[in-house]
């Protein structure tokens, strides 16, 4: 059941309905409080709404549940970059890149490396 809410939330977010997506992610988390993907996705939807600091809290929870969640590190790094926290952003993005490389997700690894270079200027 939690996965159904996660998937519906993702579809709503893709349509730009981020507030509605957050409601579905909340439902997924209520069913499974250890659903790292739901925290990550909710954080992403909140970030799209400009709620960067609140999004970081969700990314923190996703990472606490799954310390190898590369996407959550990357999303948290981007949110920190948007808040002007350059060094913290680079640290998170570097960790995301390491995890993507370890998980053999080379396209994602390359994208994160490029983001780090952009932030470094």
pLDDT digits (tens, 9 = 90+) for 37-48: 999 999 999 999
**pTM exceeds 0.75 for this model:** yes
The domain that holds 50 is classified in CATH as: 1.25.40.10
Phi-psi region of 69 (alpha: psi -120 to 50; beta: other; left: phi over 0): beta
Statement to judge: residues 52 and 87 lie in one domain: no
Statement to judge: residues 35 and 94 lie in one domain: no
Answer yes or no: is pLDDT of 25 > 90: yes
Statement to judge: residues 3 and 57 lie in one domain: yes
Between helix 70-82 and helix 52-65 the angle, nearest 10°, is 160
Domain, as residue range, for 49: 1-67
Per-residue pLDDT tens digits for 5-17: 999 999 999 999 9
Statement to judge: residues 56 and 86 lie in one domain: no
Statement to judge: residues 95 and 112 lie in one domain: yes
Report the percent of the chain where pLDDT is more than 90.
Answer: 99
What is the count of structural domains for the chain? 2
């Amino acid at each position: 059941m939690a996965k159904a809410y996660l998937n519906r939330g993702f579809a709503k977010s893709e349509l730009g309905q981020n507030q509605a997506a957050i409601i579905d992610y909340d439902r997924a988390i209520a069913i499974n409080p250890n659903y790292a993907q739901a925290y990550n996705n909710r954080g992403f939807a909140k970030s799209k709404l400009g709620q960067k600091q609140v999004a970081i809290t969700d990314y923190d929870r996703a990472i606490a549940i799954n310390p190898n969640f590369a996407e959550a590190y990357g999303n948290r790094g981007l949110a920190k970059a948007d808040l002007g926290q350059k060094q913290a952003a680079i640290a998170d993005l570097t960790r995301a890149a390491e995890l993507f490389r370890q998980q053999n997700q080379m396209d994602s690894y390359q994208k994160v490396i490029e983001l780090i270079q952009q932030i470094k200027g």
